[in-house]
Amino acid sequence: MTNTRITDSEILERRYPVLLREFSIRKGSGGAGQHRGGDGVIRDIEFRIPLQVSILSERRVYRPYGLNGGEDGACGLNLWVRNVEKTTWDRSLARFHDGDAQDDDKEYEERHINLGAKNSAAMKAGDRIIVSTPGGGGWGAAGLPSLAQNRVHDTDSWRKGSAAAREDAALQA
């Protein structure tokens, strides 16, 4: 996986021993403005075998900034979801007296660990990583109409024809 393109889930699952549980747009992560910032994406990846995973990402602490009065986008987040054995004092005491408990007796719970922007972790089979990419910052003050909505025609901002033709059109107007 890279940060420069979006790999299709089918290709990702075929090339690596993973299951892509979610791949969706992160609604509302773009900053507000005259032109709203783009929304990020969410990828929930489950590992099918034990392996080492490394992540190198940005904008996990500082929000992507908006320009010309636009609001900042949302920060990204990298979560490691681990299935850990749920233990209680009574269960631990019983194990101490009777030896290891059978696998049927074990209960598991999910623990969420923030990996930060740059990290490496040893995943077990069944562990997951949820990568939430940041949204983009907005441009322009919120509430103003979009510049694209003000145009009558898409080609209004284009320079048309030769310089001589533009001068002739200006003289005729």
Q: What pLDDT, on a 0 to 100 scale, did the predictor assign at position 157?
A: 60
Q: To the nearest whole number, what is the mean pLDDT of the chain?
A: 86
Q: What pLDDT, on a 0 to 100 scale, did the predictor assign at position 2?
A: 45
DSSP-H helix ranges across 28-173? 89-98, 147-150, 163-172
**98: pLDDT strictly greater than 80:** no
Asked if residue 171 belongs to a domain, the reply is: no
The arithmetic mean of pLDDT across residues 19-25, rounded, is 95
Confidence of residue 30 (pLDDT cuts 50, 70, 90): very high
Asked if residue 118 belongs to a domain, the reply is: yes
**134: pLDDT strictly greater than 90:** yes
The arithmetic mean of pLDDT across residues 126-148, rounded, is 90
Asked if residue 159 belongs to a domain, the reply is: no
- Number of domains within the chain: 1
The arithmetic mean of pLDDT across residues 50-71, rounded, is 94
Cα torsion 166, 168, 170, 173: sign: negative
* Proportion of the chain in helix, strand, coil states, percent, rounded to 5: 20, 30, 50
The arithmetic mean of pLDDT across residues 8-16, rounded, is 91
Cα torsion 14, 18, 21, 23: sign: negative
Single-letter code of the amino acid located at 41:
V
The number of beta carbons lying within 10 Å of the beta carbon of residue 171 is 7
Task: Identify the weakest region by mean pLDDT among 53-57, 68-72, 107-111.
Answer: 107-111
Contacts of 139 (CB under 8 A, 6+ apart): 33, 34, 35, 37, 66, 67, 68, 70
Asked if residue 169 belongs to a domain, the reply is: no
**172: pLDDT strictly greater than 90:** no
Gyration radius of the chain over CA positions: 26
Q: What pLDDT, on a 0 to 100 scale, did the predictor assign at position 7?
A: 85
Whole-number Å distance between alpha carbons of 29 and 60: 13
The arithmetic mean of pLDDT across residues 33-43, rounded, is 94
Residue 64 structure tokens: 């992507």
**66: pLDDT strictly greater than 70:** yes
Asked if residue 125 belongs to a domain, the reply is: yes
Asked if residue 41 belongs to a domain, the reply is: yes
Domain that holds residue 74: 9-153
